[in-house]
Amino acid sequence: MFQRLVFPVSRYMLSYTVFGSSPEFAPYLHRSTTAGGGRSVEDMDDSELRVEPSPKRVRAYLAGRLVADTRRASLVWEIPWYPAYYIPADDVTASLTPAEEADLYNVEVAGAVALAAARRFPESEQRRGLVRLEWGAMSHWLEEDEPVYTHPRDPHKRVDILTSSRHVRIEAGGVTLAESSRPSILFETGLPPRYYLPLPDVRTELLTPSDTVSHCPYKGTAAYWSLMSGDGKNIAWTYRSPLPESQKVAGLVCFYDEKTDVYLDGELQERPRTHFA
């Protein structure tokens, strides 16, 4: 038995299929991404895709068994925010058996099957001969010998974390949530600067921990806070144990600029317009 869940994300639609955890199947999330206007990325013209070769060795595993091992992966930007890995069919070691939908395949390894977890693109000149493995269908991925989470790292994205003495005040509905003159400012390509503040400078009595967690391939796993008043769900987050390259934000609290009023050196900042708004 399975349950199909659909979540809207900005102008894209992510459709997940959650399978039961019976022993013969590896539980996973199967994603079908739909671009604006209701068009599936599978139907996108090659001219709409950005494709680059990756110099990294990339491996994917299912239930501890190797699914693919390649030094010839392609990075394909199907949506603006991050790329997906496409792997030459010759470098896929798992068995691919036809699924119910055309060009979709089940991924089979000893002791586990991921249903409809691979797709081929015979009509696409840029993607012909390549296989896209659904990221969430795999147990884990490696870039070289290090695990990578959520999605491939974007080679054009950079994350810098700089300590600062600028004065930052965060408000919501006229109420000050945090105020600090010792922020760490995280600059990430394509996103507004994020102000990470020491916990003692945050009015935690106004916040309550959320059950929400998120995963970033550059920073790690984030836990979230919501307003006690109930007006601001998942308004702030913290990385308690960030990845090595982002250790400078460990234990600090950051608020969504999109959902709060941010004063920088006394000047109210314009709210950024991103897919997090």
All domains in the chain, ordered by first residue? 43-148 (2.170.150.40), 159-268 (2.170.150.40)
- The confidence score (pLDDT) of residue 41 equals 62
- The confidence score (pLDDT) of residue 33 equals 47
Which residue stretches of the chain have pLDDT < 70?
Answer: 1-43, 277
- The confidence score (pLDDT) of residue 230 equals 78
Is 85 within 8 Å of 71 (Cβ atoms)? no
- The confidence score (pLDDT) of residue 146 equals 93
- The confidence score (pLDDT) of residue 276 equals 74
CA 241 → CA 246, 247, 250, distances in Å?
9, 8, 6
- The confidence score (pLDDT) of residue 182 equals 97
- The confidence score (pLDDT) of residue 136 equals 94
The span from the first CA to the last CA of the chain, in angstroms, equals: 35
Q: Write out pLDDT tens, residues 108-153.
A: 999 999 999 999 999 888 899 999 999 999 999 999 999 998 999 9
Residues pairing with 76 in the sheet: 51, 84
Two tokens at 187?
Answer: 């600059």
Report the C-alpha gap between 107 and 104 in whole angstroms: 10
Q: Which residue has the tokens 């840029």?
A: 126
Report the C-alpha gap between 36 and 51 in whole angstroms: 20
Cα angle value 196/198/204 (rounded, 5°): 100
- The confidence score (pLDDT) of residue 43 equals 67
Report the C-alpha gap between 84 and 82 in whole angstroms: 7
Q: Write out pLDDT tens, residues 31-64.
A: 444 444 445 666 677 778 899 999 999 999 999 9
Report the C-alpha gap between 109 and 69 in whole angstroms: 14
